Structure formats: C-alpha cells, structure tokens
Structure 1
Amino acid sequence: MVEVSLPVKWLLRVLAIGYVFFLVAWPVSTIIREAFADGAGTLGDVLSDPQVQRALALTVQIALQAVAINLVFGVAISILLVRYEFPGKRVLSALIDLPMSVSPVVVGLSLLLVYNGRDGWFGTFLEEWGLKIIFSGPGMIMATCFVALPLVIREVVPVLQEIGDEQEQAATSLGASWRQTFWRITLPSIKWAVVYGVVLSLARSLGEFGAVKIVSGNVLNQTQTATLLVEEKYQSFEQSSAYTVSFVLAFVSVLCIVVVSILRPKEKH
C-alpha cells in the first residue's frame, strides 16, 4: 500500500465528499425541499390523486415482475458463467454488460422495431395470437428487464467465484441431486448477493424512464408509469406534483438499499 501524507489524505477526502455532494446529495436534497415546500400535507394531497395512484401502482407492478424475471434468469446465468465452460461464454458475458453501455432509449427503439404490431419483425405474428407487446404491459416489462439485468448477475458472479465449487462437488459425490445441491449449498452461499442484486434491480426498475417511455406509449391511466407522470406534471407546470412523485420514487429506492445494507452481515476479515 502506498503511503500518503496527511494533507493529501484530507484533500482526497474533501474531493470525494464534494464530488458526491454536488453530484448526488445536493440535487436530491433539492427535490426533497421542493416536495415539502408547501408543507407535509402536499404529500397526502398528491398521493390521493387517482392518476398518481394508478401510475405508482403500475410502476410497482412492472418493477416487481421485471425483478422476479431477472432474479430467476440472473441466478441461472450467473451459475452458467461461473460453473461451466462452453463456446461463446465470453460473448455472453459481454452481452450482459450491454444494458450498462447502451442508452435505454436505444433499447426501447429496438423493442419497438422488433415487436411493433404494424411493421415489427414479430409484432404482426404475435398479435395474430392475441399477444400485444408494444404499448402494453409485456413490452414495458421487457424493457425494464433489459436495463436491470446486469445488476443481479454482477452481484452473484463474484460470490460464486469466491466460494468455489468444492462443497457442491462434495454434495454431488455423496448422492445429492442438483436440486438438493442448489437449495442447500449454492443458494445459502449466495443469498446476500442475490438479495442485494434484487434490491439494486428493484431500484433501477422503479426509476426507468427512457425505454419504458418508447414502448409504453404513455397512455393516461393505462401505460403511464410514475416516471412518465413526473415528466408530464413538470411540463404542465405542476411542479409540486412532479417533485412529490420523484421524492416517493427516490425514497423507496434509497430505503430498500439502506435496509439491506443494515441487515447484510459484515464481512469477516
């Protein structure tokens, strides 16, 4: 470890704290201040609006379904990447990081081009079978799944690599099935990585805007999520409602992360 002088340590601390303050803390605190500018009663008034209630309910519904899907596939893909060797493994690993490097708007547009009922590649075929993807719930769930997919995998993969597979091989050699090995050996070893990945995925899903805006159509009381409602309220000069809904979304996301961070066991050195 490189030794640095005390003034340099304090300078680095000030720079780090200042960076986080001006980039995160100050803007978020401004949202909180504006949300309660007219008193705490504003929160209740805004949340009693049927339009806000429907937007928040839809947001939670979409986020929970996306998180559930990402949980199943995220754990499965993590085990596949760590425990098995197969052609195209590096390509799959690179594709998993694609949502982190591609704009959500591009994701939404891609889904629109593939699944749009009028001129999409599969849209007409699916609608003939009664499946409408774009401008409905399935398209919104797909978009949300895409942008949040890496969060579960990138939490679970390092833990799987760290714990190794010795216990799993021992269980298998003693006659345990793959189900027994997974539920009794693998899952308990990665449970906190899974939980933290799910929480991060939930927070990301609740705040998704770009991809969902394109595939949802932003139809009032039907496909309008909370983030789309914030945009509409702000552009309609209803800043109080926009700030309040933004505060609710941010509060739920931060609360989930804080609770998991408190409950998560500290690592032993």
Structure 2
Amino acid sequence: MVRVSTPVRWLLRTVAVGYVFLLVAWPVSLVAVQTFEDGFSNFVGIFSDENTVAALQLTLMVALWAVVINLIFGVTISILLVRYEFPGKRALSALIDIPLSVSPVVVGLALLLVYSGRTGWFGPSIESAGWQVIYDSPGMIMATCFVALPLIIREVVPVLTEIGDDQEQAARSLGASGRQTFLRITLPSIKWAVIYGVVLSLARSLGEFGAVKVVSGNVTGRTQTATLIVEAKYQNFEQTTAYSVAFLLAFVSIACLVVVAFLRPQHEI
C-alpha cells in the first residue's frame, strides 16, 4: 500500500467531495429549493392534478414490472455467466453492457422498428393478434427493461465470482436439489448484491426518459410517465409542478439508496 502524506490526502478528499458536490449535490439541491420555495403547498398540489397522478401511477407500474423482469433474468444470466462455460460467453457478457453505452433514444427507435404496428418486423402480427406493444405499456416496459438490465447483473456477477461454488457443490453432493441449493446457499450469499442491484434498477427505471418517450407516444393521461410530464410542464411554463415531480422522483431514488446503505452490513460493503 502506497503511503500518502496528510496534506495530499486532504487535497484528494477535497477534490473528490467538490467534484461530487458540483456535479450531483448542488443541482439536485436546487431542484429541492425550487420545489419548496413557496412552502409545501406546491408539492402537495401535484397530487390533485389528475394527469400528474396518472403519470406517477404509470411510472410506478412500468418501473415495478421492469425491476421484476430484470431481477429474474438478471440473476439467471449472472449464474449462467459465472457458473457455466459455453460458446459465446464473452459475446453475451459484452452484449449486456450495450445498454450502458447506447443512447436510450436509439433503444426506443430500435424497438419502434421491430414492434411498430405498421412498419415493424413483428408489429403487424402482434396487433393482428389483439396486442399492442408500441405506444402502450408493453413497449414502455420493454424499453425500461433494456436500459436497466445491466445494473443487477453487474452487481451480482462479482459476488458470485468471489464466493465460488464450493458450498454449492457440497450441498449437491449431500443430495440437495438445484432449487434447494439456490434458495439455501446461492441466494443468501448474493442477497445484498441482488438488493443493491434492484435498488439501482428501480432508480434507473423511475428516471428513464429517452427510450420511453420514443415508444410511448407521450399521450397525456395515458402513456405519459413522470419524466415526460416534467418536460411537458416545464415547457408549458408550469415550472412549479415540473420541479415538484422531479424532486419526488429524485427523493424516492435517493431514499432507496440511503436505506440500503444503512441496512447493509459493514462486512458486505
């Protein structure tokens, strides 16, 4: 370990804190200041607006479905990547990181090209069967799943790699089934990684904008999410409502992170 003098340590800490403050804390705090500039009445008032309430309900529904889907597939893919060897493993691992590098708008456009009812590859067949993906909640859930998928996987994979498979092999040698091994050995070992990944996925899902805007149609009261209503209210000079909804989204995400950070045991960090 490299020893660093006290002045250098304090300089590095100051730079790090200053960077985070200017980039994250200060802008978010300004949203809070604008929200409560005239008291709590403006913030409480957003719950009396039918369109805003509908947008919040839709956002929560889309985010919860996206988190559940990503949880199931995220844990499954993590176990597949760590515990098994197969052709194309590196390619699959690389593909998982695509949502982190591709613009969400591109994701929305790609879904539009595949599932659009008129020109999409599968859209006409799906709509003829009575389903609608684009400009409805299924497309919004798919777009949200896409952008948030890597968050759970990248939390679980390192933990699975670190703990190894010795205990799992011992359980199987004693007659435990695959289901018993997963529930009693694997899942408790990766519990906090899964929880933290779920929280990050939830926060990302609540704040998704670009991909959802492309596939939703942004219809007020029907396919308009909370992030879209922030844009609409701000452009319509209803800044107070826009600030209030933005603060609510930020507060929920930060609160989830804080709660997990306090509940998570120190040895798990």
TM over 0.5: yes
Give the letter for the 1:58 counterpart.
L
Partner of residue 117, structure 1: 117
Q: Indicate yes or no: 2:29 matched with 1:29.
A: yes
3-state SS of 1:106 partner: helix
Distance in 2 (CA, whole Å) between partners of 1:236 and 1:19 is: 33
Partner of residue 175, structure 2: 175
Partner of residue 157, structure 1: 157
Residues 90-109 of structure 1 deviation map (CA, whole Å, 9 limit, x = unaligned): 00000011100111011001
Distance in 1 (CA, whole Å) between partners of 2:95 and 2:30 is: 37
Residue pairs, 1:49-128, within 5 angstroms: 49-128=49-128
- Shift in Å at residue 46 of structure 1? 1.7
Distance in 2 (CA, whole Å) between partners of 1:143 and 1:231 is: 19
Distance in 2 (CA, whole Å) between partners of 1:174 and 1:46 is: 58
Distance in 2 (CA, whole Å) between partners of 1:14 and 1:211 is: 37
3-state SS of 1:202 partner: helix
3-state SS of 1:229 partner: helix
- Shift in Å at residue 48 of structure 1? 1.6
Distance in 2 (CA, whole Å) between partners of 1:47 and 1:239 is: 15
Residue pairs, 1:1-269, within 5 angstroms: 1-267=1-267
Which moves more between the two structures, 40-49 or 246-255?
Answer: 40-49
3-state SS of 1:267 partner: helix
User: For structure 2, which runs of at least 5 residues remain unmatched after alignment?
Assistant: none
Distance in 2 (CA, whole Å) between partners of 1:253 and 1:48 is: 23
Distance in 2 (CA, whole Å) between partners of 1:189 and 1:17 is: 33
- Shift in Å at residue 131 of structure 1? 1.5
3-state SS of 1:38 partner: coil
Distance in 1 (CA, whole Å) between partners of 2:235 and 2:182 is: 50
Residues 64-92 of structure 1 deviation map (CA, whole Å, 9 limit, x = unaligned): 00000000000000000000000000000
- Shift in Å at residue 268 of structure 1? 6.9
3-state SS of 2:267 partner: coil
RMSD between aligned residues: 1.0
Runs ≥4 residues deviating over 3 A: none
- Shift in Å at residue 4 of structure 1? 2.0
Identity across matched positions, percent: 70
TM-score by length of 2: 0.98
Residues 124-148 of structure 1 deviation map (CA, whole Å, 9 limit, x = unaligned): 1111111211000100000000000
- Shift in Å at residue 5 of structure 1? 2.1
Give the letter for the 1:122 counterpart.
F
3-state SS of 1:222 partner: coil
**2:192/2:268 contact within 8 Å kept:** no
3-state SS of 2:219 partner: coil
